[in-house]
Amino acid sequence: MRFATGNFHKYIEISEILSDYGIEVELSTVPKIEIQSESLEEIARKAVESVEVEGPVFVEDAGLFVEALNGFPGPYSSYVYSTIGCRGLLKLMEGVEDRRAHFKSVIALRLPRGEILLFKGVVEGEIAEEPRGTGGFGFDPIFIPSGYDRTFAEMDRAEKNRISHRGRATRAMAEWIYRKGLSAI
């Protein structure tokens, strides 16, 4: 099965999770359209529709939604990370007591006959006061999942994958494939 992404970190995380289900993933760096939208579901759906490959293919889109910032950066997380990064987001949070946030992941799987299925994963948490840890990528150094005292960047990949938004969406897709049988894709 092909995963259309230019983000090698996402590819590694998702392929490790899918390997637990006996599903092999091929990295496909083919072009895809990434629309601007408030909806991760719409972004992922349009992206997978635009991928020109044969057979089953999926894309994943994710965002960090900060409560005190009315859900910002949300679907614009990649752009915000590439422009102001963790430090810039923390600057926006200076003096803010409500640090609740959640990460959301949406996987859009296009089946060979064109049907598109969406799988979602969410993890609640909060924004740290400062970046911590060297693992992960993106906003991982400033996101502390609920029930933990460490950021995603302070966890090893296996632990992060067990609880993360991306892990939850990936397992939802894998379990659907497992229930339907690999021949369904």
Contact 133, 151 (CB under 8 A): yes
Q: Bridge partners of 61?
A: 106
Length of the chain: 185
Q: CA 133 → CA 15, 139, 145, distances in Å?
A: 23, 11, 14
- Write the single-letter amino acid at 69: L
Residue 140 falls in the annotated catalytic set = no
Contacts of 92 (CB under 8 A, 6+ apart): 69, 72
Give CA 58 to chain center in angstroms: 12
Residues 28, 34, 39: CA angle, nearest 5 degrees: 120
| The residue type at 39 | S
Return the closest-CA partner of residue 33 out of 56, 15, 51, 13. Answer: 51
Q: List the catalytic residue out of 20, 61, 98, 140.
A: 61
Q: Which residues are catalytic?
A: 61
